[in-house]
Amino acid sequence: MSDAVMNYITLNDGNKIPSIGFGVFMIPADGSTYKAVRVALDAGYRHIDTATAYFNEEEVGKAVLESGIPREEIFVTSKLWLSQYGYEGAKKGIERSLTKLGLDYIDLYLLHQPYGDVVGAWKALEEAKDEGKILSIGVSNMTPKLWNKFVSQFATLPSVNQIECNPFSQQKKMRAIMDKDNVKVECWYPLGHGNAELLKHPTITAIAEKYGKNAGQIILRFETQEGFITLPKSTNPERIKSNLDVFDFTLTEDELQAIRNMDTGTTSHDPDADGVGDYLLNAFKIED
């Protein structure tokens, strides 16, 4: 058990979420996910982020249940895949995730991609929340255009929008819309997917030297101070631990502004591009 410090953020539905989570995207379900999640939990993480389309929900759930940590202390996120959209499909998808995870409830469940029958799927998430199967619900990969298209049709607001977000891609337009309703940003690719240009940026390296931290820790501290929920991923035990060790220092306002000035206003993935929905729908086959 670790003595790592954890900060929590209160969502717009009143639930609290750890501000740093451990992401398991692209970690294989060959025992590697189980092992990485156990390392993360031992290091002090209390938020694990998986998805139907990661194909490793089972190992995440097993690691959570075998960790010896009370279930209510671990925040588990999963996501519904496009092929499960629509009201009836989403109801089945939620049950599938619960079964794969081996859990009685999921702390946060997201619509993984904003295409197809998003509104029908959202209705199923709302019902599952009312039934206590899911505690919080949210969306992922929504741009301002997609947000305005779909969220206006929802009976209740999402609690989060999980989007690509890091110092080069700060999502200022999307955040301005979300901030009005206290919808929180969750960052995927929070370290720019290992982008050397980001990790070796002189602004980042100078601040890292000042605090005796590595570049990744400075970036993650920036994101947490901006009020983001951030989801770094690693299978390296030392990196898993160091990514959580960011709450023993505070960036100054000048340092925050210097990093804000690094924003390019662009992302590596464009959810608004033609054909993205169709491409993603065919990218993964989810077995019942």
Active site residues: 54
Answer whether 187's CB lies under 8 Å from 231's CB: yes
* CB neighbour list of residue 163: distance below 8 Å, 6 or more residues apart: 140, 141, 142, 171, 174, 185, 186, 187, 188, 267
* Distance in angstroms (rounded) separating the CA atoms of residues 68 and 105: 18
Closest Cα partner for 64 from 79, 51, 49, 80?
49
C-alpha distances out from residue 138 to 43, 73, 102, 202, 213, Å: 27, 20, 21, 35, 33
Which helix (H) or strand (E) segment is 160 a member of?
strand 160-164
Question: Burial, 151: exposed, middle or buried (Cβ in 10 Å; 0-12, 13-18, 19+)?
Answer: buried
For residues 114-125, one letter each, b for 16 or more C-beta atoms within 10 angstroms of the residue's C-beta and e for the rest, the string is bbbebbebbbbb
Closest Cα partner for 166 from 180, 184, 146, 186?
186
* Distance in angstroms (rounded) separating the CA atoms of residues 136 and 12: 9
* Distance in angstroms (rounded) separating the CA atoms of residues 160 and 65: 25
Which helix (H) or strand (E) segment is 224 a member of?
helix 215-225
**DSSP letter (8 states) at residue 68:** -
